[in-house]
A = this chain, B = another copy of it.
Amino acid sequence: MVKEIFEHKTIRKYKEQQIPENILNEILTAAIRASNTGNMQVYSIIATTDNEIKKQLAPAHFNQLMVTEAPVVLTFCADFNRFNLWCKFRNAEPCYDNFLSFMTAATDAIIAAQNACLEAENHGIGICYLGTAIYNADKIIETLKLPIGVVPVAVVTMGYPCENPELLDRLPLEAVVHKETYKNYTEDDINRLYAEKENRDDSKQFIFENNKQTLAQVFTDVRYPKNNNEYFSDVLLKVLKQQKFL
């Protein structure tokens, strides 16, 4: 049993304590050991520790405090720029300005990110993934000076924990796992599989605080609403065009 996996909690509050360079290097080395497509390693990791640059990054992450308070912000990017340069200097014609190549590079970057997170947790360091990596990719590109062929896909803040939240609930395994082929869900299935989640006190509190009738409405109307999803989808597709992946 990999204990870091089963003990994982998202940590949003950090001590001021810095992450020593040798430990940060071990975390980054864990990242680059990850499985990747054809051993091309078509991703880059931007390790930001400078307070001024973290401050510049913050708006791209909707000014969530983790970005300025964490000693380290890691931005994992799909990156064909380095590979393309290598090709050009080696009399080879790169052909990775397409969506498949973006998904290949993004997948490899995300696998590397999860290795980094588990290795950090092994050293007692807390981590938080920021979904905003793909919301405001345009702003991150500007701040981190990412060239054509490079797109951020996962951002993780890291630091020594200053909080100790409870393990989060999960849907039962049978909600997520399908045996052999996909079995679609009946209304009874959905009722059964979501019952525990819906009956939690924190879920009820969440509905009450947001003045909604159901937990699902908190997601559709408040947390991940249509206008946001559609707006940021357009931004992300524009970014893929701008960075030459579409």
Contact indicator per residue, chain A 15-50, by CB within 8 Å of chain B (1) or not (0): 000000000011011111111011111011111111
Stretch at the interface among A60-68, A105-113, A157-165: A105-113
Which chain B positions have C-beta within 8 A of A180? 46-50, 53
**In whole angstroms, how far apart are the Cα atoms of A183 and B146 in the complex?**
8
Contact indicator per residue, chain A 107-145, by CB within 8 Å of chain B (1) or not (0): 100110111011100100001010100110000000111
20 contacts between A and B (CB under 8 A): A2-B2, A5-B118, A28-B176, A35-B117, A35-B129, A44-B177, A46-B178, A46-B180, A46-B181, A87-B219, A90-B214, A92-B216, A92-B221, A95-B225, A100-B236, A107-B110, A111-B113, A111-B114, A111-B129, A150-B182
Known: A48-B181, A95-B224; 19 extra A-B contacts, CB below 8 A, are A1-B119, A2-B30, A28-B176, A41-B176, A49-B180, A53-B181, A87-B219, A90-B215, A94-B220, A95-B230, A99-B237, A100-B135, A100-B229, A100-B236, A101-B224, A106-B106, A110-B111, A111-B113, A143-B181
Interface residues, chain A, CB within 8 Å of chain B?
1-2, 4-6, 8, 10, 25-26, 28-35, 37-41, 43-50, 53, 77, 81-83, 85-87, 89-96, 98-101, 103-104, 106-107, 110-111, 113-115, 117-119, 122, 127, 129, 131, 134-135, 143-147, 150, 153-154, 168-171, 173, 175-182, 184-185, 187, 190-191, 193-194, 213-217, 219-221, 223-226, 229-230, 232-233, 236-237
